[in-house]
Amino acid sequence: MLDGGAEGLAEARLSNVKRLRRAGMTCPITLIRTPLLSQVDNIVQVCEVSYNTEISVIAALAAAALRQNKVHGVILMAEMGDLREGIMPQDIGYIGQQVVDMPGVALKGIGANFACLSGIVPTATKMQALTALANEVEGQCGPFLETVSGGNSANLPWAFSSRATGRINDLRIGEAILLGMDPITGDQIGGLFRDTFTLVAEVIETDAKPVSPLLGAADPAPTIIRLVPATSETTRIILALGNQDVDVAGLSMPAGSTLIGATSDHLVIGTIDPKLCVGSEMRFQMNYSALIRAMAAPDIQTNLHNDRPGSQEIDANGPEKHLALV
């Protein structure tokens, strides 16, 4: 992302920020989820800026910054209709003034969130309202707001349109970069790719299965078991993957395959592919929900592949490696 032109990185989890720092990332990193009160010292240590909604947390960040002889940047989140995090617009100037008066922190900007909890689309009207709010906060609090963050990947259609962007100079882009899709419509964004990530699961069973359960729910008497013939057009297979690994509903089934069901550790698929046998692999594309769960699952192994043309390949251990995750 940095090689592609991003000016900084943003994270919602402190543990991930620590991993980035341990990996040698020296760029500015912003914490985009309201900080945990119990983590303020660590946040000031590894993050230059954080998004905030609670004045008690900001006060704790200020105290931590003073202990570390730092000034921590604060961006205030405004509630613009999505009903997730955010200070009500009529109160944000008052909160901003408290931040300005507080040693150890500096008011860097305001932001808003869209299309996450309530599906509120970031329209041009919403962006104009956020621009107006930025002007109001500046007029009330004094300092120039360096950042006016308009939202996330859902803002890209607006950002790419011919409309004036006003004061909006920052977007928190993740899903669009990773999956190349508009999170509102699910459509592919022109010029981007949707196959950067592939989830690979191994087949652990291909035996024929009963069409109905062995025992009825209320009748303890054994029922006649009717097996799906091995030569049937559709074969049921089981993959070593389950609900604790990935959001199964967010998987795109390969051509000729259908989802039958899933438990915590098993994924049952119906397929017409005759080549699938025990030990074979099946590959899936993922939506954002499936991707974030798979990336966090401890039993999902991640393999990084250099995707640059051969003439541009460099040492995979070098600092300039260009990687795609499979």
This prediction has a pTM of: 0.85
Cβ neighbours for 281, distance < 8 A, ≥ 6 positions apart: 200, 201, 202, 203
Residue 298 CB-density burial (10 A; 0-12 exposed, 13-18 middle, 19+ buried)? exposed
For the residues of 259-292, what is the DSSP string, one character each? EEEE-SS-EEEEE--TT--TT-EEEEEE-HHHHH
8 A C-beta contact, residue 99 and residue 138? no
Type of residue found at 288: Y
Q: In terms of Cα–Cα distance, which of 53, 40, 176 is closest to 111?
A: 53
Residue 21 has φ and ψ, to the nearest 5°, of -65, -40
Residue 295 corresponds to which tokens in the numbers above?
A: 């990336």
Phi, psi of 58 (to 5 degrees): -60, -40
Amino acid 140 reads Q
Cross-strand pairs, 39? none
List the structure tokens of 233. 């057009």
Considering all CA atoms of the chain, what is the largest pairwise distance in Å, rounded to the nearest integer? 79
Query: Radius of gyration (Cα) for the chain, nearest Å?
Result: 25
* pLDDT per residue rounded down to tens, the chain (326 residues): 888 888 899 999 999 999 999 999 999 999 999 999 999 999 999 999 999 999 999 999 999 999 999 999 999 999 999 999 999 999 999 999 999 999 999 999 999 999 999 989 999 999 999 999 999 999 999 999 999 999 999 999 899 888 899 999 999 999 999 999 999 998 998 888 999 999 999 999 997 666 555 555 555 555 444 444 544 578 899 999 999 999 999 999 999 999 999 999 999 999 999 899 999 999 999 999 999 999 999 999 999 887 654 433 333 333 333 333 33
Task: Report d(CA 234, CA 110) in Å as an integer.
Answer: 55
Q: Which residues pair with 148 in a beta bridge?
A: 110
pLDDT at 154: 94
User: CB of 307 within 8 A of CB of 325?
Assistant: no
How far is 254 from 298, CA to CA, in rounded Å? 24
What is the CB neighbour count within 10 angstroms for residue 228?
15
Cα distance between residue 104 and residue 46, in whole Å: 15
Taking phi over 0 as left and psi of -120 to 50 as alpha, with beta for the rest, 83 belongs to: left
Distances (CA, A) of 115 to 73, 152, 210, 223: 26, 8, 43, 50
Write down the pLDDT at residue 309. Answer: 46
Structure tokens at 56: 């008690």
State how far the Cα of 245 lies from the Cα of 154, in Å rounded to an integer. Answer: 26
